[in-house]
Amino acid sequence: MTETKPKQLFDFINGIYLDQSKDFFDNLTDGEKKTYKYSKYMIHRFLSMNPHFIPIVNTLQKYTQIPERAHYLFLTGLIPRGKQFNKYIKSKKEDKYEKWMVELVSKHYNISIDEAIQYIEIYYKSDKEGLKLLCQRYGIDQKQLKKAKL
């Protein structure tokens, strides 16, 4: 008896795009159900990489109480069968500004981190020297200023 590998996210994605079997969930073993939880969020995330499916995903994600099996059946009934290549959109891993600078501006103006980033963007566009002076007031050395391109 051969042991089957547990279902992964891409098995569910391929099931929606390629297999579209009506009894997909009925054929899952208890072990497979425990090993990988069917994640509606991740399914939506991958399906939304195709611009044609964004309205479907946007509408469907409003209904959070849909059972997993019904969710799968709905998608397989709506999405055309066939191999899909959708470019995965990654988030930016590197920060645009130095963390210490964002925290400094946040504390100086007593604002949130998001607002501090906006302030820094304004500084960079219109008053880079003012930002440099602010950093120097707080004892930031020349080496860090140079790294931050000030």
In the predicted structure, residue 89 carries a pLDDT above the cut 70: no
- DSSP secondary structure code for residue 94 in this structure: S
| pLDDT the model gives residue 91 | 63
38/147: higher pLDDT: 147
- C-alpha separations of 81 from 20, 75, 87, 130 in Å: 7, 10, 18, 58
Q: Residue 131: enclosing H or E segment and its boundaries?
A: helix 128-137
| pLDDT the model gives residue 92 | 61
SS3 label, residue 86:
coil
In the predicted structure, residue 57 carries a pLDDT above the cut 80: yes
> What is the mean pLDDT of the segment spanning 59-72?
88
Structure tokens at 102: 């964002």
8 Å CB contact between 20 and 76: yes
| pLDDT the model gives residue 108 | 93
32/15: higher pLDDT: 15
| pLDDT the model gives residue 129 | 92
4/119: higher pLDDT: 119
Q: Residue 115: enclosing H or E segment and its boundaries?
A: helix 113-126
In the predicted structure, residue 102 carries a pLDDT above the cut 90: yes
Binned at pLDDT 50, 70 and 90, residue 118 comes out as very high
- DSSP secondary structure code for residue 80 in this structure: P
In the predicted structure, residue 33 carries a pLDDT above the cut 70: no
8 Å CB contact between 23 and 76: no
Cα angle 76, 90, 16 (rounded to 5 degrees) comes to: 10
